[in-house]
Amino acid sequence: MYYRYWTHLSEHKVYAHYGLRTEQYKLIYYYADALGTSGSEDERKEPEWELFDLKKDPYEMINVYADPDYSRVVAVLEEELYRLQEEVKDEKYERVG
């Protein structure tokens, strides 16, 4: 499942992001930019990635995105993320400036 969270740093103080959820993994890209959306705070932050192995870490406490043991999983999930994003006609975040 692909999803997107638009309201950057508003009520829950969560960075704007999009992600992919599978049965075993959750991949999240915090692009951290309001992009002019209403209800968001216009305060850009550095983008960052998270990957959680939901079978080993169901409470999402350990980010394994940079773990070399997950490099193949990251590649496959990123490819699927961008495929789904294109399918639903959502735009990939490209930082400008």
Annotate 47-59 with b (16+ C-beta within 10 A) or e (fewer): eeebbbbeeeeee
Instruction: Locate the domains of the chain by residue range.
Output: 2-87
State how far the Cα of 44 lies from the Cα of 61, in Å rounded to an integer.
25
State how far the Cα of 39 lies from the Cα of 17, in Å rounded to an integer.
15
pLDDT (mean) for 82-96: 86
| CATH number of the domain located at residue range(s) 2-87 in this protein | 3.30.1120.10
Q: What is the pLDDT of residues 36-87, one digit of tens each?
A: 787 777 877 889 999 999 999 999 999 999 999 999 999 999 999 999 999 9
